[in-house]
Amino acid sequence: MIRYYEEIGLLPSAARRANGYRDYGDQEVAVLQFVRRTRDLGFSLEEVSALLALWNDKKRPSREVKRLAETHIADLERRMREMRAVIKTLRQLAQHCHGDERSDCPILDDLEKPRAPSAGKPRRA
């Protein structure tokens, strides 16, 4: 993955030791940790790239960082709302299903119906 990050330009090319191995010092490790942390917080690699740039630019206004973070939060919140609606729908369906030996099943009956649940675009939230 680190090699991939390097390849797409998210990370600068690492320094090499005499044997060709990548050489990571404290500074480089800090960058890698930064990337992992931002990834853990759900930022896309593109957003991580932007955050790295902001991180490296010691004089940028904090407004820019905050804006990026809030855009991401809004995105996560939208996805969470969609997810919540889906869960609600599914729970209702499951609730009405006997779940025993009988073959009639309101879950499948409902899935036949072509209506949409909530939002349209993102299928897998």
Residues that bind a second copy (CB under 8 A): 30, 33-34, 36-42, 44, 51, 54-55, 58-63, 65-67, 69-70, 72-73, 76-77, 79-80, 83-84, 86-87, 89-91, 93-94, 97-105, 107-108, 111-117, 123-125
From 1-9, 25-33, 68-76, 104-112, give the range in contact with DNA by CB under 7 A: 1-9
Radius of gyration of the chain (CA): 23
Helices of type H across the chain: 2-7, 26-40, 45-56, 62-95, 106-112
Q: Tell me, what amino acid is at 5?
A: Y
65 binds, among DNA, a second copy, none (CB under 5 to 8 A by kind): a second copy
Site string for DNA, 16-55 (x = CB under 7 A): -xxxxxx----------------x----xxx---------
Q: Phi and psi of 25, rounded to 5°?
A: -95, -175
Q: Phi and psi of 21, rounded to 5°?
A: -70, 150
